[in-house]
Amino acid sequence: MSFTMTPLEFSGITFCVSIGAGVLGSLLGLGGGIIIIPFLTLLMGIDIHYAVGASIVSVIATSSGAAAAYVRERMTNMRVAMVLELATTTGALTGAYLAGVIPVRWLYITFGVVLGYSALIMYRKRHQKEGEDVAPDALADWLRLHDSYFDEATGKTIAYRVTGTKLGLVLMYIAGIVSGLLGIGSGALKVPAMDIAMRLPIKVSSATSNFMIGVTAAASAGVYFARGEIDPFVAAPVMVGVLVGATAGSKLLGKINSVWIRTIFVVVLLYISLQMLLKGAHG
Amino acid sequence: MNPEVPAPTPEPDHPKEVGNAVGAEVGDDVENKVRTVEILISNLLRGGVVLSMLTVLLGTVLSFIHHPDYTTSKEELALLTQPGATFPHSIMEVFTDARAGHGQAIVIVGLVFLIATPVLRVAISIFAFMYQHDRAYVVITTVVLILLLASFALGKVEG
């Protein structure tokens, strides 16, 4: 790969693209890796290892940058986040032990299918009223997970009840294993799990996923750093751009209609699902 | 607990709903504590983000000042971003180089601040739940922190 840019041009372009990744990531509860990795590898010719290292940095930047606002505005359900982090961190540890045991190829195919199916369910339920007709869940009662948030788009405070805590924990455990093994897709699995199984409002799911992904990524960042896969020259413009984008995006989430957030999420989910299936197909 | 409140007052399930009921004082107290914790965690995240961003910016500016050819040469980028690019990997190296004013080492210090922020957030949450007298969540959060530190340690062994 021959380079046709100066380091200054590289930093400038990467910074601008990363702003977009930060906005999208903060709105959808994803880490922005879906933009950062293809951009760095395909367009900028960066080595895949450095691209993944930079995307881990991008996940933490999106998470901390957006969560500062979401926690203050009560969009994040911190109790749900803490309970589910139990499952994701256990899953990440399990994933570390399973590395090399499970064929990565089938993992990509399985999760491509799972994410595609989740996108379908979320699309069909996109007009569902939030926080209504929720089945009682004793565990959610005991853990006091129910809460409310102020929805700027409708000008209403929306009280919601949480259900399916056990199923949510199982799904988060699996999400933890997958992100431990593949290093991607943790947010893409977390949001549908909270949305479909636990019936959290989409904005709360997104903000809570945002809050959680930083912790999971920080755990793996240590490994990438020790392996020398976090190149400071690649990571710096990504980090600064994503922080600017996530801060801006976190001001937008409240104002956008929930149906829109769901629709954008479904489209992005289908794209990730396709990416995973292709990776699985090519081996 | 609060000595002025009669003994049988139950722990409020939903602080906001209890607000203007019989246990108003208890409700407000819980509500205030929850708010204090939210602001604390929000400020911690913001502080971590600002500190790490300023450090990374400082390091980047220094790199460009020390290497004026970064703005003109098209060969330099390969040396910085291709496999075999030289930058410090261990914490010791990073701090020695950063002290010497090496831009890229200072960038790494900023990245380390960024990585540390969510971990610190979990650690602070333990005290936050203690302050709210929420024993179940103190236990949950402590277990999460132990698992996190375990995965750090495990990563070191494997890496």
* Tens-digit pLDDT profile for residues B37-55: 889 999 999 999 999 999 9
- Choose the closest CB to B111 out of A11, A226, A235: A235
Residue A127 within any structural domain of the chain: yes
Top pLDDT among B13 and A165 is at A165
pLDDT band at B9 (very low <50, low <70, confident <90, very high): very low
Q: Which helix (H) or strand (E) holds A133?
A: none
Q: Considering its fold, how many domains does chain B have in total? A: 1
Q: Considering its fold, how many domains does chain A have in total? A: 1
Looking at residue A281, what is its pLDDT?
85
Q: Is the pLDDT of residue B158 over 50?
A: no
Q: Is the pLDDT of residue B21 over 50?
A: no
What are the structure tokens assigned to B46, written together?
């913001």
Residue A87 within any structural domain of the chain: yes
Using CA atoms, how far residue B55 sits from A107, A143, B3, B31, in Å, is 38, 39, 48, 36
Residue B137 within any structural domain of the chain: yes
Using CA atoms, how far residue A84 sits from A27, A222, B123, B151, in Å, is 20, 22, 16, 17
Residue B107 within any structural domain of the chain: yes
Residue B2 within any structural domain of the chain: no
Looking at residue B12, what is its pLDDT?
45
Gap between the Cα atoms of A106 and A235, Å rounded: 30
Residue B30 within any structural domain of the chain: yes
Looking at residue A184, what is its pLDDT?
63
Share of chain B above pLDDT 70, in %: 80
Residue B9 within any structural domain of the chain: no
Asked if A33 and A275 count as a contact pair (C-beta separation under 8 A), the reply is: no
Gap between the Cα atoms of B55 and B50, Å rounded: 9
Looking at residue B156, what is its pLDDT?
54
Residue A55 within any structural domain of the chain: yes
Please indicate whether, in this complex, the C-beta atoms of B49 and A65 are within 8 angstroms of each other: yes
Please indicate whether, in this complex, the C-beta atoms of A60 and B114 are within 8 angstroms of each other: yes
Quick one: which of A200, A201, A180, A172 has its CA closest to A87? A172
Residue B147 within any structural domain of the chain: yes
Using CA atoms, how far residue A75 sits from A79, A157, A228, A243, B66, in Å, is 12, 11, 36, 19, 44
A-chain CB neighbours of B115 within 8 Å are: 57, 60, 218, 221-222, 225
* Tens-digit pLDDT profile for residues B23-38: 455 667 778 888 888 8
User: How many Å lie between the alpha carbon of A95 and the closest alpha carbon of chain B?
Assistant: 10
pLDDT band at B8 (very low <50, low <70, confident <90, very high): very low
Residue A232 within any structural domain of the chain: yes
Residue B11 within any structural domain of the chain: no
| Average predicted confidence (pLDDT) for chain B | 80
Residue A273 within any structural domain of the chain: yes
Predicted ipTM of the assembly: 0.88
| CB contact B142 to A (< 8 Å) | no
CA dihedral B46, B49, B50, B55 (to 10 degrees): 160
- CB-based burial label for A106 (10 Å; 0-12, 13-18, 19+): exposed
- Average pLDDT across each block of 10 residues of chain A; the chain has 283 residues. List them in order: 78 95 92 87 88 91 93 93 92 77 81 87 79 80 89 88 93 84 74 90 93 85 81 95 95 89 91 88 76
Look up the domain containing A82 and give its range.
Answer: 7-282
Please indicate whether, in this complex, the C-beta atoms of B151 and A220 are within 8 angstroms of each other: yes
Residue A93 within any structural domain of the chain: yes
Looking at residue B22, what is its pLDDT?
46
- Choose the closest CB to A64 out of B118, B147, B155: B118
Q: Is the pLDDT of residue B19 over 80?
A: no
Looking at residue A49, what is its pLDDT?
84
Range B121-127 average pLDDT: 92
User: How many Å lie between the alpha carbon of A167 and the closest alpha carbon of chain B?
Assistant: 18
Looking at residue B61, what is its pLDDT?
94
Residue B141 within any structural domain of the chain: yes
Gap between the Cα atoms of B144 and B147, Å rounded: 5
Gap between the Cα atoms of B102 and B110, Å rounded: 13
Quick one: which of B31, B39, B36, B33 has its CA closest to B12? B31
Residue A18 within any structural domain of the chain: yes
Closest-CA residue of chain B to A97: B154
Look up the domain containing B29 and give its range.
Answer: 17-158
CA dihedral A191, A192, A194, A197 (to 10 degrees): -170
Q: Is the pLDDT of residue B7 over 70?
A: no
Looking at residue A218, what is its pLDDT?
84
Gap between the Cα atoms of A233 and A236, Å rounded: 6
Closest-CA residue of chain A to B40: A72
Residue A1 within any structural domain of the chain: no
Q: Is the pLDDT of residue B159 over 50?
A: no
Closest-CA residue of chain B to A68: B42
Share of chain B above pLDDT 90, in %: 38
